[in-house]
């Protein structure tokens, strides 16, 4: 038997958590979330190409928090199977030999569960190399699940064991600490997002949000594209410092977004009779990385004919009139596109400015504390909170010195 934190469907708990004011969520959500710490049988490999993994660290992602807080879109409910063990940002040790990798090797896992992992002939998207767009995430040899961490059969990183297809594993360089390697999956997603669109040389890019997704998007933009000025809308001082260290040209408080972007990019600020104002002019590209009300902001600060990149998982409605009137391009970016993105992510994970990003590490037994910490991360100065599933309850929760700022 293994220890695992399981998600069970509970519409009542989901709705109750979703109605909480934002300021109460860090304290109350862990008690309302439909999560249960339990002892269960370890998942069995569903086929000969699958191997067992022992998680070393597993991050808490914004999508995990949205699930716990009752703010994730019901659109995704058809693409998961319950009970599932969350956790898709995983660095783990192999328990079985596979190909050129020996048991004990540290790996990071690409969580996308595509046709190949499901034992199916490739759908059109998978055949085209876009396994992150797979149309068969509810079919095949494993139960429904858009990713590991949302599938009842694979297990997830918030447990002592899980299984993964060998083609989804990438060895971690010996020189890279696990606290950096656990950033590989969100880094791969950030890399995919900036490769998803055309970023012309010198383009002015605004990044809305400076949590994990926003900060890693800044790094990917600066290191992998010819972007010009990168302006980050960041609410908290520690976020502003980190954004600057990662390559942001300037940071602005979200409450001053319109005036700040007008000053930087030119144009004019107009105000309708009802609702917030917007720019005539603005940034060439806006990356929305909050998954909350940031989309509405993004649509109001991008120039006519510009691009809005959705990197955060949308959870709130927005007025789409600007998309029509300003002839905007809106591009979504959901997950990494395979080995090339992970190779680049493992390379970027060694960047000096990522030091201390993982600043709260908890045993599974302290999962409520971990969720509270993650829900308050921006305000406290933290970035990434993670579980160490093999750690005993009496070991320190924050080996890297605690929160920044």
What is the domain-level CATH number for residue 377?
3.90.180.10
pLDDT in tens, 330-340: 999 999 998 99
Q: Indicate the SS3 state at residue 38.
A: strand
Average pLDDT over residues 364-387: 92
**pTM score, whole prediction:** 0.92
Does residue 308 share a domain with residue 220? yes
Closest C-alpha to 141, from 166, 167, 113: 113
Give yes or no for residue 400 having a pLDDT over 50. no
Average pLDDT over residues 153-169: 97
C-alpha–C-alpha distance, residues 291 and 276, integer Å: 19
Is residue 6 within a helix (H) or strand (E), and if so which, with residue range? strand 2-7
Average pLDDT over residues 122-135: 96
The pLDDT mean for the chain works out to 91
Q: Which pLDDT value is given to residue 328?
A: 98
Which range has the worst mean pLDDT, 22-26, 72-76, 85-89, 267-271?
22-26
Within a domain: 307: yes
Does residue 178 share a domain with residue 70? yes
Within a domain: 397: no
Pairing outcome for strands 35-40 and 2-7? antiparallel
pLDDT in tens, 63-81: 898 888 777 788 888 999 9
Does residue 201 share a domain with residue 58? no
- The CATH number of the domain holding residue 229 is 3.40.50.720
Give yes or no for residue 173 having a pLDDT over 50. yes
Average pLDDT over residues 288-293: 85
Within a domain: 348: no
Within a domain: 392: no
Does residue 289 share a domain with residue 222? yes
Give the confidence band of 293 by pLDDT, cuts at 50, 70, 90. confident
Does residue 72 share a domain with residue 22? yes
Give yes or no for residue 405 having a pLDDT over 50. no
Is residue 308 within a helix (H) or strand (E), and if so which, with residue range? strand 302-310
Does residue 375 share a domain with residue 319? no
Within a domain: 403: no
Within a domain: 178: yes
Which range has the worst mean pLDDT, 9-13, 186-190, 249-253, 351-355?
9-13
Give yes or no for residue 403 having a pLDDT over 50. no
Give the confidence band of 351 by pLDDT, cuts at 50, 70, 90. very high
> For 364, which DSSP code?
G
Within a domain: 394: no
pLDDT in tens, 22-40: 666 677 777 778 899 999 9
Q: Are 336 and 342 in contact (CB under 8 A)?
A: yes
C-alpha–C-alpha distance, residues 2 and 161, integer Å: 7
Q: Which pLDDT value is given to residue 18?
A: 66
Q: How many domains does the chain have?
A: 2
Domain that holds residue 56: 2-183+356-387
Q: Which residues pair with 52 in a beta bridge?
A: 163
pLDDT top residue among 156 and 63: 156
Q: Which pLDDT value is given to residue 3?
A: 97
Q: Which pLDDT value is given to residue 72?
A: 79
C-alpha–C-alpha distance, residues 20 and 117, integer Å: 38
Does residue 202 share a domain with residue 165? no
Q: Percent of the chain scored above 70 by pLDDT? A: 93
Give yes or no for residue 316 having a pLDDT over 90. no
Within a domain: 301: yes
Q: Indicate the SS3 state at residue 137.
A: coil
Q: Which pLDDT value is given to residue 404?
A: 32
C-alpha–C-alpha distance, residues 247 and 149, integer Å: 31
Does residue 362 share a domain with residue 304? no
Does residue 367 share a domain with residue 300? no
Give yes or no for residue 302 having a pLDDT over 80. yes
Does residue 16 share a domain with residue 97? yes
Q: Which pLDDT value is given to residue 394?
A: 58
Does residue 218 share a domain with residue 158? no
Does residue 374 share a domain with residue 271? no
Q: Are 5 and 364 in contact (CB under 8 A)?
A: yes
């Amino acid at each position: 038997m293994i220890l695992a934190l399981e998600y069970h469907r509970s519409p009542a708990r989901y709705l109750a958590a979703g109605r909480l004011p934002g300021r109460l969520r860090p304290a109350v959500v862990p008690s309302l979330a439909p999560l249960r710490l339990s002892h269960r049988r370890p998942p069995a490999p569903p086929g000969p190409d699958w191997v067992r993994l022992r998680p070393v660290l597993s991050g808490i992602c914004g999508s995990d928090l949205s699930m716990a807080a009752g703010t994730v879109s019901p659109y995704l409910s058809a693409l998961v199977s319950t009970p599932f063990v969350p956790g898709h940002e995983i660095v783990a040790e192999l328990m079985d030999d596979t190909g050129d990798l020996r048991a004990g090797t540290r790996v990071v896992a690409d969580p996308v569960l595509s046709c190949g992992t499901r034992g199916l002939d490739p759908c059109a998207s998978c055949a085209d190399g876009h396994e992150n767009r797979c149309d068969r995430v509810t079919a095949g040899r494993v139960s429904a699940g858009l990713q590991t961490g949302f599938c009842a059969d694979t297990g997830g990183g918030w447990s002592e064991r899980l299984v993964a297809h060998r083609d989804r594993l990438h060895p971690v360089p010996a020189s890279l600490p696990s606290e950096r390697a656990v950033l590989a999956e969100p880094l791969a997603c950030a890399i995919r997002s900036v490769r998803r669109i055309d970023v012309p040389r010198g383009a002015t890019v605004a990044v809305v949000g400076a949590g994990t997704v926003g900060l890693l998007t800044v790094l990917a933009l600066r290191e992998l594209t010819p972007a010009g000025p990168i302006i980050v809308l960041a609410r908290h001082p520690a976020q502003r410092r980190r954004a600057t260290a990662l390559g942001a040209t300037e940071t602005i408080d979200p409450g001053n977004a319109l005036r700040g972007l007008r000053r930087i990019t030119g144009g004019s600020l107009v105000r309708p009779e009802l609702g917030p104002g917007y720019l005539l002019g603005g940034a060439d590209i806006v990356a929305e990385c909050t998954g909350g009300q940031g989309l509405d902001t993004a649509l109001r600060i991008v120039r006519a004919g510009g691009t809005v990149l959705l990197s955060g998982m949308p959870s709130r409605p927005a007025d789409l009139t600007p998309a029509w009137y300003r002839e905007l391009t809106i591009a979504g970016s959901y997950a990494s596109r395979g080995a090339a993105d992970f190779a680049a992510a493992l390379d970027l994970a060694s960047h000096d400015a990522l030091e201390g990003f993982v600043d709260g590490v908890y045993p599974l037994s302290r999962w409520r504390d971990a969720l509270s910490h993650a829900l308050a991360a921006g305000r406290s100065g933290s970035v990434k909170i993670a579980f160490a599933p093999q750690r005993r309850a009496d070991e320190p929760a924050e080996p890297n010195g605690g929160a920044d700022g």
